[in-house]
Copies of this chain bind each other. A is one copy, B any other.
């Protein structure tokens, strides 16, 4: 029996091996992705991102536990670390996972370091997610650290994106939020027992109000309430990000967060956003693959001498990169 077939039969060793093949972008990995593709498209992909120090890993663990206990879902966790591009190792994930999860054969945890290549991280993430999907995991939690381009690229792959904040993480965190807010479906204020939680919540609600003018927020006993939220998004066919407080360490707020995620899934299904997203995800996968393959084929067909000579002319500034690309393509396409 081959590895792909074994993966479909939920063999963990086969999954582990294929994840490695796919991460290393081997021929065998690509063949498996190709063979398994008809079996994908079922899983709910949840992206979890946010600055360091917000407690993302603990939150992801708790969400996994919640899905196991409350829904009996099979859960995969992929911890992606874009800040570690050179090591090939992974600093997140495997080490710090909860004991409650480690014995459960319906939970699979994997970490991945960035491969350092442009576009490579989103590509590997997308491919690994497809393996989990084919292996019949209902929920795939993709955890990323930081707040850069990698997170945005990964958010494009996710059905639901959680952005995790924590009170009191520095002064110019506002600057980060301005960009990251736009990818958030749900904003989680973790470590909500910390001082400053009201301030963080007010700031987030204020920014949401700016970007969603129809969202009316009433302060009520120090917590925000979104009035007529359902009506608003039914009318406009847009999702208005919710703000949720959690204390992941103690399990506080996890069930409520799970319910908010479920509301988002309902919204996606009812508004046809789910299929639109799926289409976008597949297009990103396709485009990235096309771009990389084209480039690699081109380099394969180009004689190494021509490439080296061209580069050497550029370094001597006898030829510009723009001019060089033009003349190389002219002889080829």
Interface string of A83-120 (1 = CB under 8 A from B): 11111000110000000000000000000011010110
Would A41 and B329 be within 8 Å (CB), given that A146-B147, A152-B85, A178-B83 are in contact? no
Residue of B nearest to A56 (CB): B172
Q: State whether the Cβ of A289 lies closer than 8 Å to any Cβ in chain B.
A: yes
Alpha-carbon distance A170/B291, docked complex (angstroms) = 38
A330 to nearest B CB, angstroms? 10
Q: Do A325 and B145 have beta carbons less than 8 Å apart?
A: no
Would A175 and B83 be within 8 Å (CB), given that A320-B37, A321-B285 are in contact? yes
Residue of B nearest to A275 (CB): B315
Q: State whether the Cβ of A294 lies closer than 8 Å to any Cβ in chain B.
A: yes
Task: Report the 9 A-B pairs with minimum CB-CB distance, sorted nearest first.
Answer: A53-B170, A148-B148, A84-B179, A37-B320, A83-B179, A118-B119, A34-B322, A146-B148, A291-B295
Interface residues in chain A, defined as those with a beta carbon under 8 Å from any beta carbon in chain B: 30, 33-34, 37-38, 40-41, 51-53, 57, 81-87, 91-92, 113-114, 116, 118-119, 121-122, 145-153, 169-173, 175-176, 178-180, 182, 278-279, 282-283, 285-295, 297-298, 301, 310-311, 314-315, 317, 320-325, 328-329, 333
Q: Do B53 and A173 have beta carbons less than 8 Å apart?
A: yes
Would A179 and B40 be within 8 Å (CB), given that A82-B148, A148-B151, A295-B291 are in contact? no
Residues of chain B within 8 A of A52, CB atoms compared: 51, 147, 169-173, 175-176
Residues of chain B within 8 A of A287, CB atoms compared: 295
Alpha-carbon distance A301/B333, docked complex (angstroms) = 9
Residues of chain B within 8 A of A283, CB atoms compared: 311
- Copies of this subunit: 2
Q: Do B148 and A317 have beta carbons less than 8 Å apart?
A: no
Q: What are 30 contact pairs spanning A and B, CB under 8 A?
A: A30-B322, A37-B320, A37-B321, A37-B322, A38-B320, A51-B170, A52-B147, A52-B171, A53-B173, A81-B175, A82-B179, A83-B148, A83-B175, A87-B179, A116-B152, A118-B118, A118-B149, A118-B153, A119-B119, A146-B146, A148-B148, A148-B150, A150-B150, A169-B170, A170-B170, A282-B321, A289-B321, A290-B295, A293-B329, A294-B329
Residue of B nearest to A123 (CB): B118
Residues of chain B within 8 A of A278, CB atoms compared: 315
Residue of B nearest to A323 (CB): B34
Residues of chain B within 8 A of A149, CB atoms compared: 82, 85, 114, 118, 121, 148-150
Residues of chain B within 8 A of A113, CB atoms compared: 179
Q: Do B328 and A290 have beta carbons less than 8 Å apart?
A: yes
Residues of chain B within 8 A of A84, CB atoms compared: 178-179
